[in-house]
Structure 1
Amino acid sequence: MASTRMSTADVAWLNMDRPTNSMVVNGVMWFDEPVDWDRLRQLYEERFLGPYPKFRQRVVAPSLAFGRVRWEDDPTFDLDRHLLRVRLPAPGDRAALHRYVSEQMSRPLDRDRPLWETHLVEGYNGGSAVFSRIHHAIADGIALIRLLLSMTDDHADETLFHPPELEEPERDRSLTRRVRGLVSDAVKVSGQLAHEGMEVLTQPSRAVQLAELASAGTTALGKDLFLPPDYRTVLKGQMGTKKQAMWSDPFDLATVKAIGRAHEATVNDVVCTAVTGALRTYLEHRDSLTEEVRALVPFNLRPLDEPLPRHLGNKFGVVFLPLPIGVADRTERLAEIKRRMDAIKNSAEGVVAYGILSVIGMTPVQVEKVVVDLFASKGSLVLTNVPGPREPVYLAGTKLAGIMGWVPSSGGVGLGMSIFSYDGDLTVGISADARLVPDPERLVDAFNDELTALLKEEHHPEWHVG
């Protein structure tokens, strides 16, 4: 029976689980046509279970107090316990899918089994949806998104193949080409919309260089440790176990790019400006407006020109981005966001945060909780921007219509905002603690209004939503 020690960074994410906050990466894909169940099942056997052993392994606690948590093959593993087939309740519209996803996100994964599930949701608007839940201890968001995209094809009629063992060079090249081809799409888009918020995704060498700058790292460590708690707003407080998830109509990505070019800014800058405006509107509505709130923005530290390792794992950093919600003028807000984003790109904070995460994974759970709460107190939301393929892709022979995903919020952070781009569209999604944010639809509507207003202010007649 195969058994491997869990890395300290992965242990840290495992121990962050709480009844009010499960450390699970959630993602949903939707399709205008039904997805074939038998083909989907074969796809998971060949491209999901085959190359990556962790999806057949469960977590085993150490027998001694100071032992290391391990991954161990589940002797009773059954794909049918993890790949589920369900039917969406009537009327089977997007609101019904929102409710289904929200209910599932409120439920922790079973620690006695491998920490993942995928649901084929039939009866969604005449087509299907595929909802995936994978624990962060298995891998970080960028790795899991790359993995899920590696399961798609460029054409509907591509033949499923038996994936190679990753250590066999001759056969490995075909998988490598597939993964690199999919990743290259993401890299091109991420020049405008960087994964999980940062353009440093497209420059992994920059992250490596930052890691080597000891003086910069020391400064960043001091900054993070002595950063005061974030402003107290309705976004902070006692959390519950119920979560809510929803997403917007799509925006035309080309039009958003045009706004960025007009201001010598990136798509990421424009989107963050709209997010900031949406938070301003929401907090004003709830009589909780302040000068700024901080977003925790994860970014990738893993080279994108290399295939994913068999063990997957976590390798990313986090930076704090202060969002200037006190700035009322949208043009001024965009300029300020750009200034702050540019400063973060040259910061060593993210690399330092990854180092801290690895260290706290070696500490007792009680100590880790204190450190996680300390860092979580410095932010009010997790903000992620994820570039998907620029052209349509197919899962199990069915064309993907849209995609949304959320990384978990650690500690007492109860709000996640995700922006996904795919096939020329840009969509925003909300994942919120129902006690802190009982009306996430207001945030979605406010984002739509803010981005629409930015487009109108630039007098672009071609703008549109949906």
Structure 2
Amino acid sequence: MLLILVVLDGSNNGKPHWVQTTVNLDDHIILPRLDPAVSASDPDKAVEDYVSSLSTLPMDRSRPLWEFHFLDFATSEATSTTVLRLHHSIGDGMSIMTLLMASSRSTADRARLPAMPPLPRRTGAIYQQRTRPPLSSIGDYLAWIWSYFVLVWHTLVDIALLNATLLFLRDPRTMFTRVPDKVKSPRRKRLVHRSLNLDDVKLMKTAMNCTINDVLVGVTSAALSKYYFRKSGDAKTKRIHLRSILPVNIRPLSSRQTYVTKVETGNQVSILICPFHIALHDDLLEYVHKAC
């Protein structure tokens, strides 16, 4: 079996480049031996601990940069767990998901590729296209022009903040701040997941007239706030300025089914700088309100 491999061998001016190599599946299909007592007592935490341990281990660049880890014990959400670990040079999340979809088959028809779910229908009030109000007076006309000035002003402020962030603007040092590469940190990266009821998220979205993303950002802000003040012991009135980079897929959603039938690897992503509101509120909905 041949596959491409990223290597650093002194050629190509010392830059990484792709070469063909022979794949030994035993190097990429991993069945870890975990303590049965630990996985039986708290299987969800055992999965999180195992994934967390992978973040401390560098990938072997002498072979293709992908691995499948199979955890053969039941959790609260599945009978077994598969962890796919790969280098981002192979592809982004959407391309890898479509690759896995293209490698599977429909349970109803083994010869047919699985169908991607249809695009969601956005029918909420927030998605309705706003029409321009009738300009019946000079005041209405000036207000309409002023709205464009406000839009331009906010755009310029966002551009200025982005450039300042790239050049010198930094968030205050907290337990969430990324440690520089040159500094060895004993902190282990940890991936923690929680499943939410989508109906509850939609109910909150409708009640607060916002988007699902706003609700999720608000929930994340609430969780980070609770964690920060519990761990740091700071005063509850203290407010922390924290921003995060969120990757965004820029492939057109209308062609997701095309990606299943014609898989395209590589990266087509952009980023958003998302501020998180870190503070303590008695009303948890205040976090969602701040995110809207």
TM over 0.5: yes
- Taking the TM superposition and a 5 Å limit, the aligned residue runs for 1:21-36 are none
Structure 2 gaps, min length 5:
128-153
> Secondary structure in 2 aligned to 1:277?
helix
Task: Return the alpha-carbon distance in structure 1 between the equivalents of residues 25 and 87 of structure 2.
Answer: 17
Q: 1:146 to 1:188 in 2, by over 3 A?
A: farther
Percent same amino acid at aligned positions?
25
Measure how far apart 1:87 and its partner are.
4.6
CA contact (8 A) 2:245 2:274 kept: yes
Instruction: Please name the residue that 1:232 is paired with.
Output: 173
Letter of the 1:66 partner, please give it. Answer: N
- Taking the TM superposition and a 5 Å limit, the aligned residue runs for 1:337-376 are 337-338=291-292
Task: Return the alpha-carbon distance in structure 2 between the equivalents of residues 62 and 241 of structure 1.
Answer: 32
Task: Return the alpha-carbon distance in structure 2 between the equivalents of residues 112 and 131 of structure 1.
Answer: 21
Letter of the 1:111 partner, please give it. Answer: R
Letter of the 1:223 partner, please give it. Answer: L
CA contact (8 A) 1:61 1:68 kept: yes
Measure how far apart 1:153 and its partner are.
4.7
CA contact (8 A) 2:69 2:82 kept: yes
Q: 1:100 to 1:313 in 2, by over 3 A?
A: same
Letter of the 2:172 partner, please give it. Answer: Y
CA contact (8 A) 1:88 1:97 kept: no
CA contact (8 A) 1:88 1:123 kept: no
- Taking the TM superposition and a 5 Å limit, the aligned residue runs for 1:234-313 are 234-236=175-177, 237=179, 239-240=185-186, 242-248=188-194, 250-285=195-230, 286-288=232-234, 289-304=238-253, 305=255, 306-307=258-259, 312-313=265-266
Measure how far apart 1:149 and its partner are.
3.9
- Taking the TM superposition and a 5 Å limit, the aligned residue runs for 1:134-213 are 134-155=86-107, 158-159=109-110, 178=114, 181-182=115-116, 184-185=117-118, 187-188=119-120
Measure how far apart 1:65 and its partner are.
6.1
Give the alignment's Cα RMSD to 1 decimal. 3.3
> Secondary structure in 2 aligned to 1:120?
strand
> Secondary structure in 2 aligned to 1:256?
helix
Measure how far apart 1:68 and its partner are.
5.0
CA contact (8 A) 2:99 2:263 kept: no
Give the structure, 1 or 2, with the largest relative contact order (CA under 8 Å, sep 6 or more).
Answer: 1
Instruction: Please name the residue that 1:10 is paired with.
Output: none
> Secondary structure in 1 aligned to 2:205?
helix
Structure 1 gaps, min length 5:
1-48, 162-173, 193-198, 200-215, 339-466
Q: 1:105 to 1:67 in 2, by over 3 A?
A: closer
Letter of the 1:326 partner, please give it. Answer: A
Measure how far apart 1:260 and its partner are.
0.5
Q: 1:64 to 1:73 in 2, by over 3 A?
A: closer
Task: Return the alpha-carbon distance in structure 1 between the equivalents of residues 20 and 213 of structure 2.
Answer: 41
Return the structure number with greater strand share.
Answer: 1
Measure how far apart 1:327 and its partner are.
6.7
Task: Return the alpha-carbon distance in structure 2 between the equivalents of residues 311 and 154 of structure 1.
Answer: 21
- The alignment covers a number of residue pairs equal to 240
Measure how far apart 1:337 and its partner are.
0.8
Instruction: Please name the residue that 1:133 is paired with.
Output: 85
| TM-score after normalising by structure 1 | 0.45
Task: Return the alpha-carbon distance in structure 2 between the equivalents of residues 104 and 88 of structure 1.
Answer: 14
Measure how far apart 1:57 and its partner are.
1.7
The structure whose Rg is larger is 2
